[in-house]
């Protein structure tokens, strides 16, 4: 073992992949990127990486100790709440500094017609009476919530196909990873005669063009709000994480 400092990055986002590469470039620092292992072809990582759940708070605590992690960066997706709370508890248990990288949420601008809801279940509840042909962009994990809406046709876009036996709403699946251009999004909405969108408020640029296209076409967007995040230090961009890590590692010595 060297004396290099070890930084664990909880990932699953584009920012996390970029961040891991940049942290690994800091002299005397090793970055280890962690993925949940759900996506068949994840964004390629250039650093040491691991894949799969840790086994809850206890498993993550053990991992932090066994791997002699000095600093933990939570760069998971804003909707990945469980791992963020696990990370908070495990880092506290090990007395390891922890930082959350949270990309800013999208903000409503003039011309947007958003119906803001707390959850996918709440989104499904508002759809009857609102629209007949929905562009559903919530990933694959909670698709079944919409499957009993038999009078609505769904265009569903996600990276990987849903599990074999999962309940899928009536409609069409598109398997694609962003970024998507405004032109692509506009023509998709027009081609499938979409009359409303359901989206998580993921933030970031890669999937924002659908929101612009909805605004241009005067379509309502049912926007699922983010879950709460644990207490602790937070920054909004990769460069701020790098500064924070440098500072923390300097303090650790
Ligand atoms: P979640 O509900 O917060 O986590 C579920 C479980 O997956 C966790 O308890 C943990 O298992 C494992 N896990 C999650 N992220 C992990 C990571 N980076 N490394 C190792 N294990 C991880 O998360 P989710 O919503 O299922 O999302 C899974 C992953 O996909 C996350 O890493 C997230 O960044 C990414 N992602 C999520 C979304 C979304 O909308 N939810 C969108 C894009 C990307 P154990 O308890 O066994 O440790």
* Residue of 12, 138, 202 best suited for mutating to test ligand 1, as the one with most atoms within 8 Å of CB: 12
Q: Where are the alpha helices (DSSP H) in the chain?
A: 14-24, 56-66, 81-94, 120-126, 182-191, 209-217, 238-252
Cα(149)–Cα(133) distance, rounded to whole angstroms?
Answer: 11
Give the pLDDT band (50/70/90) at residue 1. Answer: low
Cβ contact 70:6 at 8 Å: yes
Q: Which has more confidence, 83 or 42?
A: 83
Q: What does the pLDDT look like over 71-113, one tens digit per residue? A: 999 999 999 999 999 999 999 999 999 999 999 999 999 999 9
Q: What is the dihedral of CA 16, 114, 182, 195, to 10 degrees?
A: 130
Q: Is 210 in the pocket of ligand 1 (CB under 6 A)?
A: no
- Give pLDDT, residue 21: 96
Burial (CB count within 10 angstroms: exposed 0-12, middle 13-18, buried 19+), residue 132 = middle
Residue 199 CA to chain centroid, in angstroms?
12
* C-beta of 65 in contact with ligand 1 (< 6 A): no
Q: What percent of the chain has pLDDT over 90?
A: 93
Q: How far is the CA of 97 from the centre of ligand 1 (A)?
A: 20
Q: Using the mean position of ligand 1's atoms as its centre, give its distance from the Cα of residue 1 in Å.
A: 29
Q: What's the pTM?
A: 0.96
pLDDT tens profile 210-247? 999 999 999 999 999 999 999 999 999 999 999 999 99
Q: What pLDDT digit, counting tens, does each position of 8-24 carry?
A: 999 999 999 999 999 99
Q: Is the CB of 43 under 6 A from ligand 1?
A: no
Q: pLDDT band for 44, please (50, 70, 90 cuts).
A: confident
- Report whether the peptide linkage leading into residue 179 is cis, meaning its omega lies within 30 degrees of zero: yes
């Amino acid at each position: 073992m060297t004396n290099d400092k070890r930084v664990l990055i909880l990932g699953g986002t584009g920012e996390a992949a970029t961040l891991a590469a940049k942290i690994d470039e800091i002299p005397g620092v090793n970055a280890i990127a962690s993925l949940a292992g759900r996506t068949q072809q994840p964004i390629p990582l250039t650093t040491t990486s691991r894949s799969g759940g840790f086994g809850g708070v206890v498993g993550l605590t053990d991992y932090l100790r066994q791997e002699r992690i000095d600093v933990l960066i939570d760069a998971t997706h804003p909707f990945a709440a469980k791992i963020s709370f696990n990370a908070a508890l495990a880092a506290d248990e090990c007395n390891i500094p922890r930082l959350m990288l949270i990309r800013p949420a999208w903000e409503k601008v003039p011309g947007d017609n958003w119906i803001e809801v707390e959850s996918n279940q709440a989104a499904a509840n508002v759809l009857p009476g609102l629209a007949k042909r929905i562009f559903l962009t919530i990933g694959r994990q909670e698709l079944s919530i919409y499957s009993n809406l038999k009078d609505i046709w769904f265009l569903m876009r996600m990276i990987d196909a849903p599990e074999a036996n999962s309940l899928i709403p009536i409609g069409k699946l598109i398997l694609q990873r962003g970024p998507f251009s405004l032109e692509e999004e506009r023509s998709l909405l027009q081609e499938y005669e979409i009359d409303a969108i359901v989206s998580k408020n993921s933030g970031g640029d890669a999937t924002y063009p659908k929101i612009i296209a909805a605004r241009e076409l005067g379509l309502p967007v049912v926007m699922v709000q983010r879950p709460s995040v644990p207490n602790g230090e937070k920054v909004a961009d990769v460069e701020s994480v790098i500064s924070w890590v440098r500072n923390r590692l300097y303090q650790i010595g």
